[in-house]
A and B are shown apart, each in its own frame.
Chain A
Amino acid sequence: MAEAADAELLTAVQQKRDPDALARLYDRYSSLAYGLVVRMVNDPGAAEEAVQEAFFSVWKNASSYNEQRGSVRNWILSIVHNQAIDRLRRMRARQRLDVQVELADDIAQRPDVWGEVAASLDRQRISQALGGLPSEQRAAIELAYFGGYSHSEIADLLRIPLGTVKGRLRLGMDKLRLALAEPGLGLAAE
């Protein structure tokens, strides 16, 4: 079986309602998705639910993918991220959670699955770019993205003014954007 491109698989999901195409996208990206959600919600059961919801949403809403807004992988991961944020907020409504803001240092080398191979170059670049940020900007971004905290919650957690939170997120994200805006990454340089 030849390796179909992500976009072809997504088209098969959308136009032919082909479950096998969805299964193959799942095989490519479920480890990335699950790794992300486990880090965010810190609960394997809730993480499985979020991953299942996200891939079912890929199945139902494949037509909402717009290739001009980025790769299929990034689109799937943003759906996964939204599912995780929803769950985090519901869990937090019940209890305050300790969020893992551990700084991702060396990422363990694991046997690569197909999607992993394609992701490894991007992974290296984003990890380097994130590692190059001043720690206060990086912490703000990680609290936002992985912790799902709002601007005002981050201000409370770090005991800094709201404006400082927005400033750190903005400086940090702009640096990442520029660091990644090099040829070959699909991001336009300014």
Chain B
Amino acid sequence: MMACAEVDELLPGLALGIATAAERRQLEDHLATCPNHPHLAELEEVAAMLPLTSPPQPPRDQLKHRLMARVYADLEPVVPRAPWWRRAGGWLAAAILAVVALGAGAREWFVSQQLASAPRSWALAPTGASAAQGTLVYLPQQGTATLALTQLPPLPSERVYEVWLIRGGKPEPAGTFKPAPDGSASVIVKGTPAGAEVVAVTEEPGPDGSPAPTTQPFIAGPLN
């Protein structure tokens, strides 16, 4: 067992994240039973402030896209396997269908079932001079759609952006938002993109947006 003096000598290194694996193990063993080193938490707090001395640098927008894509993929629920008697109905139906459709049709049916539950994404493009970029990701199993946007133009404080799903030629309001200071936004879309033809974003009066668009969309994408 390490002596207290030896521990105190190594605590700054532990707080700074440079203790070797062996040092760390010995320190943890000692600290688990010894109450003489309460200042470790303060040393850790000091270490955690050191990053502030480096100039902040915004990472590229793509990094946020990649991170959020990973997060959404992680959100896909792990569907618990239903008990066999519940599954049997589905298999029975599939078996009957397979017989009826004589093979080829059944395969199509399976594929279409899989497609219906697979995540889908669509790209949005600017309609005019804007540099905005966006992606709509739809998770059918979860029933959620998220719109990730970057390079949005800044908004006057009393205005908001509003998302629209255009279904049967009619725009449905799908949520309002304000972009982050770096011009990005990640918005949970209200309503489902299934069956809609277009997703679009307009600038509207805040804080609640409009029931129908009052400006031309500056970014939009077809949902097919």
Contact = CB atoms under 8 A, between A and B. Distances in A.
Question: Do A and B make up one complex?
Answer: yes
Interface of A: 1, 17, 19-20, 22-24, 26-27, 30-36, 38-39, 47-48, 51-52, 55-56, 59-60, 69-70, 74-75, 77-78, 80-82, 85, 104, 107-108, 110-111, 113-114, 116, 119, 122-123, 125-127, 130, 141, 144-146, 148-151, 166-167, 169-170, 172-174, 176-177, 180-181, 186-188, 190
Given A30-B63, A151-B18, A19 B57 contact: no
A23 B182 contact: no
Interface in B35-70: 39, 41-60, 63-64, 66-68, 70
Contact of B54 (A36, A169, A173): A36
Given A108-B55, A177-B39, A55 B181 contact: no
A116 B52 CA distance: 9
Interface stretch (B4-12, B89-97, B116-124, B197-205): B4-12
Contact of B44 (A69, A130, A144): A69
B177 interface: yes
A123 B59 contact: no
B99 interface: no
Interface of B: 8-13, 15-20, 39, 41-60, 63-64, 66-68, 70-72, 74-75, 146, 177-178, 180-182, 184, 186-188
A176 B16 CA distance: 13
Contacts of A130: 50, 53
Contact of B72 (A19, A48, A77, A122): A19
Contacts of B16: 141, 144-145, 169, 173
Contacts of B11: 170
A190 to B, nearest CB: 8
Given A56-B70, A104-B54, A107-B53, A176 B46 contact: yes
B182 A27 contact: yes
Contacts of B60: 48
A22 B75 CA distance: 12
Contacts of B54: 32, 35-36, 38-39, 104, 146
Nearest 10 A/B pairs, CB to CB: A74-B48, A31-B56, A23-B186, A173-B12, A27-B180, A123-B52, A36-B51, A34-B59, A35-B57, A169-B12
Contacts of A150: 13, 18-20
Contact of B75 (A17, A56, A169): A17
Contacts of A144: 12-13, 16-18
B88 to A, nearest CB: 32
A85 B75 CA distance: 28
Contacts of A19: 68, 71-72, 75, 146, 186, 188
Given A30-B59, A144-B16, A177-B43, A78 B48 contact: yes
A166 B71 contact: no
A70 to B, nearest CB: 5
Nearest to A106: B55
Contacts of A69: 41, 44
Nearest to A36: B51
B146 A70 contact: no
Contacts of A36: 51, 54
Given A52-B67, A59-B74, A187 B56 contact: no
A174 B18 CA distance: 17
Nearest to B185: A23
B50 A27 contact: no
A53 to B, nearest CB: 9
A51 B50 contact: no
